[in-house]
Amino acid sequence: MSVVVVTGANRGIGLEFCQQLVARGDSVVAACRRASPELQALSLRVVGDIDVTSGAACARLAEALAGEQIKLLVLNAGVFESTSLASLDFDRMLHEYDVDALGPLRVTQALLPQLQRGAKIVFVSSRAGSIADNSSGGIYGYRMAKAALNMAGASLATDLKQREIAVVMLHPGIVDTEMLRSGMSALTHRVSAADTITASVAVRDMMMRIDELTLSTSGRFLHRNGQMLPW
């Protein structure tokens, strides 16, 4: 059976991906550190204790999927911890890079043998990772990690082309999630409540971009509305 795997699946965008994928009839495997009641209420399989900064945890995820083929891998797990230039915390920034940039690549490497020919890989990125679009500065760790994530996705798109595996980096918009709310103090002059959208709307639109994804469009960095974003 072909399955869809979603990381960071217990809340926010990841949980919404699971809800919409299950609703349309996909067989979903939800990977997360700790399952939430909302996730456990869905008709899917949960693989818990998955920390994307741990190679051993990623290997356990691959073991849990032994014998199954993956048709869609949604790499959503992420953190937002950055502070301003006046109060940079390099340990937190390293953790952010480990989760947001290296984590998705770790998971992908672990699951490569189980990705079927014609599979799709989705990196939930951010417009904050666009160098050309950066006109407001700040948010150093998050911006740098997402820029690195985009580079990883672009390389994977090239390396996996012979296996007919397509890759896309998607900006979901400014989504009203717990992660956003916890980081609002760092975003006060950049984001207002009026700028935000719900996870339901963000995932609905990203699902359209995923369904449209082909090998010929692999490697692109897209807004959820389909607009190509600058690197």
d(CA 10, CA 36): 5
Mean pLDDT on 198-216: 97
Helix axes 90-97, 140-159, angle to 10 degrees: 20
Contacts of 71 (CB under 8 A, 6+ apart): 2, 3, 4, 116, 118, 119, 120
pTM for the whole thing? Answer: 0.92
d(CA 83, CA 92): 9
What are 95's two structure tokens? 């953790």
Q: What is the dihedral of CA 72, 215, 77, 145, to 10 degrees?
A: 170
Output helix, strand, coil percentages for the chain, rounded to the nearest 5.
Answer: 45, 20, 35
Enzyme catalytic residues: 142
Summarize pLDDT for 98-137 with one digit per residue, the tens: 999 999 999 999 999 999 999 999 999 999 999 999 998 9
Summarize pLDDT for 32-81 with one digit per residue, the tens: 999 999 999 999 999 999 999 999 999 999 999 999 999 999 999 999 98
pLDDT at 139: 92
Summarize pLDDT for 9-31 with one digit per residue, the tens: 999 999 999 999 999 999 999 99
In which residue are the tokens 């939800």 written? Answer: 30
Helix/strand number for the chain, H first, E second: 8, 7
**Inter-CA distances, 140 with 61, 96, 146, 147, 192, Å:** 31, 10, 10, 11, 20
Is residue 213 exposed (0-12), middle (13-18) or buried (19+ Cβ within 10 Å)? buried
Summarize pLDDT for 162-194 with one digit per residue, the tens: 999 999 999 999 988 666 556 545 555 555 454
Summarize pLDDT for 112-121 with one digit per residue, the tens: 999 999 999 9
